[in-house]
Structures are given as structure tokens and as C-alpha cells.
Amino acid sequence: MGRLASDPPARLVGRHIAPAWAAAYASEDYLHCRKAPIDLGALDWVRWDESWGQIPPEQWIDANVPREQVRARINSTDVHRDLLAAGLGAGFLLCHCGDADPRLRRAAPPIDFGLSLWLLTHDDLKRSARVRALTRFLGDALAKERCRFLGRN
């Protein structure tokens, strides 16, 4: 399974694929009237619901964005991207996700929040030939995309 984390849980074993950087994304129309460099703290935000408060991008928003500038709280990646594309505000997305959506553009350069993509399995499955083969195949394919995870198309 793929997992985004600073450090994987001790009960899981596997392979580090790449750091996973994030950036603030919004629609072209939303960003059009803002001068560069854009002050991220002055933007309206679409953010994850309260259950995601422990992840670094959400902690950044808590520390830098007034509560009245939060336009929506969501729990779906698809809804998140759709609201950003509709012009509701900005939101943090992993670079490989945000860059792949032609409706969005970066509001600022990527940020290293200390997150990485890991390919992990339970310790009791690591000796399975099928699991090892799948892990090797997926790991090699994902490692080739390292630049995308760092926001370097």
C-alpha cells in the first residue's frame, strides 16, 4: 500500500519512494487579479476537515490563515480539486496531484512539509513472493516519477 507520512508506523515495512512536496493551487481565474509574489496568508482557502488537523499543510493553514478566510472544509480529494477549479479559493495539494489537473495552477512554489511517499506492507507479508514482486514493480515505477513528487515536472 502507498502511504504518505513523515515516518512509517513501526508495524509496517517497505520502501521509501520519494519526498512528497505540496503547493497551494487555485484556478487561473482566482489567481488572475493577484500580484506576484502571492501572499498565501491573504488567500481564501479550501481545506481538509478537522480530522486532518495533524498533517503539516493543515497546521500551516492554522498558523497563517485567519479563520474567516476558510471558505470550505472537505473530506474528498475530488471535491477539493473541484472547489479549487471552481474558483472558491486556494488549497494545498501534493504537487504530483495538483500539477496533473489542467484546471489548476500553483499559487506559490512547492513547500517541503517533511512528508514522503512510502510503499509499505505488514511485516508478516514481507516474505510473500507475490507481495515482494508487486512491491518491487510498483516501487521501481514510482521511483521513476520522483521529480513529479518534488514538484519538478
pLDDT tens digit string along 54-67?
889 999 999 999 99
pLDDT at 151: 83
**73-132 per-position pLDDT tens digit:** 999 999 999 999 999 999 999 999 999 999 999 999 999 998 888 888 888 887 888 988
pLDDT attached to residue 2: 64
Domain that holds residue 82: 21-114
38 within some domain: yes
* pLDDT the model gives residue 4: 73
φ/ψ of 122, rounded to 5, equals: -70, 145
Over residues 125-153, the mean pLDDT reads 85
Check if the beta carbon of residue 95 is closer than 8 Å to that of residue 110.
Answer: yes
**Which CATH number belongs to the domain containing residue 44 in this structure?**
3.40.190.10
Q: Are 121 and 13 in contact (CB under 8 A)?
A: yes
pTM: 0.86
Using 50, 70 and 90 to split pLDDT, how confident is the model at 1? low
What does the pLDDT read at residue 100?
Answer: 94
**CA–CA separation, 76 and 46 (whole Å):** 11
3-state secondary structure of 27: strand
Assess whether pLDDT exceeds 70 at residue 17: yes
Percent of the chain with pLDDT over 90: 52
Structural domain includes residue 55: yes
Q: Is residue 57 situated within a structural domain?
A: yes
Total structural domains within the chain: 1
Residue 150 lies inside a defined structural domain of this protein: no
Residue 91 domain-assigned (yes or no): yes
Can you list the pairs that 121-129 forms with residues at least 24 positions away whose Cβ atoms lie under 8 Å? Answer: 121/1, 121/12, 121/13, 121/14, 122/11, 122/12, 122/13, 123/11, 123/12, 123/13, 126/13, 126/14
- The reply to whether 146 falls in a domain is no
* pLDDT value of residue 55: 86
pLDDT at 36: 81
121 lies in a domain? no
The reply to whether 74 falls in a domain is yes
